[in-house]
Amino acid sequence: MGLRSRRAEAKFAKACMQAGLDLDPNGQPDLVVDHEAMFARIAAHGWIGLAEAYMAGEWRTQTPVALVKVLSGLIESGYNPRTSSAKADTRFIGGDVPPELVARYAGDGMSSFAGHFSTGVPTTERRSVKSFSPSAGKRGEPANYFVSVTNFSEPLSTEKLDLADAQRRSVGMLLDAAGVHAGSHIAELPSSGGAVAIAAAGRQATVDSLVTDPGTVPGLRERLTLAGVDDSVHINVVQSVQQALARREGRYDAVVSVETLETLPMRLRPTYTAVMDELLTRGGRAVIQTVVATEKLTPVAASSLESLRAYVWPALEYGTKESLRRLVDKHSGLRVIGETHAPEHLALSLGHQRTTFQGQLREAAADGFDAVYRRLWTWQLALREALARLGMLDAVQYTLAHKHRRGVR
């Protein structure tokens, strides 16, 4: 291990040099190594070890934004220590985060998802895409179909106080795409913390909000009560996608999912889309907001995500925009009819979440999150921000509708 540790140290130093990172302790270093034990961790577990060393306080940066710079530099330089894959949990994993923790970095105090900032200009065009349906080109089903694709331009200068409005804008976009209005019956699969349910109830819709973690129910009920919509929102606790289907009380006019798909085990994603299909009434809409990988995602970046699988989301896997279309075409009677892309908005959202969290570290400590856990959360926000700023991740909203033999209904 001593030899492996020294080799890991040499490779790390070389990567820092290639990335242009300053290590001089007498100047203004981008990072400071306080304990050589970090190199033993890297030698043993690669990117997971680097994250563990950060959580243990064995290395640090002078500022949180410097951590984003360090991670971006290492990824761009091709730094790729041998990293074993974290074993994914095979249970239904909805990516639930303790609501007390979400409150410390969310712009609106309840939402962990990306926002869409008002200064981003949308541009829409219709594109022909290949159908992945097994019956494509047969029985009158077309081999290609059209999708309305909207790209949001990079927003102008923003502040962290703008995050709440951006998150509300994301919710509004989801409900607009789903056609939610007075009298609509909507299923949120699963609950995203309350923002979607509150906004839908504000439109005089009835909401069934599915919750996968019973521990989040008291906080969710409190938010709904304070918003005055508790009579319009029904909370259903489920433990699996299959149970969500079994417990449905009827079909819905709209089904909404916010940044859950990427945290589900791959084997459950076909079932997840099939459940949406079964829950949705004919003529209804399902809308999914998810984070996807772009063509710029490198093997090094993919390896760095093992640190998040090891400690945050065991089944985390960012698919491509094509993989979502393939999933929907092959495993449901739905079809993607619209999608929006906002990669710069994702990067800004994560940056504002990170700075918001840094400003509430004492409050997070008072909530019971120890120093190691707080550094873990800083790490995951910084790593995902780094990947987004490198153009490797994108925030996408997909609109789905039932298809029929001559196209989309």
Determine contact, residues 289/396, Cβ cutoff 8 Å: yes
Q: Compute CA distances 162 → 91, 112, 159, 169, 381, whole Å.
A: 36, 14, 5, 11, 18
CA angle at residue 344 from 197 to 261, to 5 degrees?
45
- pLDDT digits over 292-343, tens only? 999 999 999 999 999 999 999 999 999 998 999 999 999 999 999 999 999 9
- Tokens 């909507």 sit on residue: 186
Q: Kindly tell me the burial class for residue 234, based on how many C-beta atoms sit within 10 Å of its own C-beta (0-12, 13-18, 19 or more).
A: middle
Report which of residues 244 and 53 the model is more confident about. 53
Tell whether the model's pLDDT for residue 197 goes beyond 70.
yes
| Burial annotation 52-90 (CB, 10 A radius, 16+ → b, else e) | bbbbbebbbbeebebbbbbbbbbbbbebbbebeebebee
- Rounded distance between C-alpha atoms, residue 59 and residue 282, angstroms: 55
Report which of residues 392 and 62 the model is more confident about. 392
The reply to whether the predicted model has a pTM over 0.95 is no
For 275-318, the three-class secondary structure string (H helix, E strand, C coil) is HHHHHEEEEEEEEEEEEEECCCCCHHHHHHCHHHHHHCCCCCCC
Of the pLDDT bands very low, low, confident and very high (cuts 50, 70, 90), residue 90 is: very low
Please enumerate in sequence order all residues whose Cβ is within 8 A of that of 18, keeping only pairs 6 or more positions apart, or say none: 77, 78
Report which of residues 121 and 243 the model is more confident about. 121
- pLDDT digits over 170-192, tens only? 999 999 999 999 999 999 988 99
Q: Which amino acid, residue 141?
A: E
pLDDT at 256: 97
What angle do helix axes 371-389 and 64-77 make, rounded to 10 degrees? 50
Determine contact, residues 291/396, Cβ cutoff 8 Å: yes
Determine contact, residues 232/201, Cβ cutoff 8 Å: yes
Tell whether the model's pLDDT for residue 198 goes beyond 70.
yes
Please enumerate in sequence order all residues whose Cβ is within 8 A of that of 247, keeping only pairs 6 or more positions apart, or say none: 236, 238
Residue 190: cis peptide before it, omega within 30 degrees of 0: yes
pLDDT at 92: 44
Tokens of 112: 């962990």
Determine contact, residues 112/171, Cβ cutoff 8 Å: no
| Least confident window among 45-49, 239-243, 342-346 | 239-243
Please enumerate in sequence order all residues whose Cβ is within 8 A of that of 308, keeping only pairs 6 or more positions apart, or say none: 316, 380, 383, 384
DSSP 88: P
Question: Residues 73-81: what's their mean pLDDT?
Answer: 96
pLDDT at 59: 96
Strand duo 334-341 + 280-293: pairing: unpaired
pLDDT at 409: 42
Please enumerate in sequence order all residues whose Cβ is within 8 A of that of 277, keeping only pairs 6 or more positions apart, or say none: 286, 332, 333, 334, 402
Q: Compute CA distances 143 → 26, 265, 328, whole Å.
A: 64, 29, 15
- pLDDT digits over 24-48, tens only? 888 889 999 999 999 999 999 999 9
| Burial annotation 285-309 (CB, 10 A radius, 16+ → b, else e) | bbbbbbbbbbeebeebbbbbbbbbb
CA angle at residue 270 from 267 to 276, to 5 degrees?
135
Report which of residues 214 and 174 the model is more confident about. 174
Mean pLDDT across the chain: 91
- Rounded distance between C-alpha atoms, residue 407 and residue 409, angstroms: 7
Tell whether the model's pLDDT for residue 111 goes beyond 80.
yes
Q: Minimal CA–CA distance to 317: which of 292, 295, 296?
A: 292
Q: What does the radius of gyration of the chain's CA atoms come to, in whole angstroms?
A: 22
Of the pLDDT bands very low, low, confident and very high (cuts 50, 70, 90), residue 395 is: very high
Q: Is the dihedral of CA 159, 163, 168, 172 positive or negative?
A: positive
Tell whether the model's pLDDT for residue 348 goes beyond 70.
yes
- Rounded distance between C-alpha atoms, residue 190 and residue 154, angstroms: 29
Please enumerate in sequence order all residues whose Cβ is within 8 A of that of 26, keeping only pairs 6 or more positions apart, or say none: none
Q: Kindly tell me the burial class for residue 339, based on how many C-beta atoms sit within 10 Å of its own C-beta (0-12, 13-18, 19 or more).
A: buried
- pLDDT digits over 134-166, tens only? 877 676 677 889 999 999 999 998 899 999 999
Question: Residues 45-61: what's their mean pLDDT?
Answer: 96
pLDDT at 135: 76
CA angle at residue 226 from 223 to 227, to 5 degrees?
85
Q: Kindly tell me the burial class for residue 396, based on how many C-beta atoms sit within 10 Å of its own C-beta (0-12, 13-18, 19 or more).
A: buried
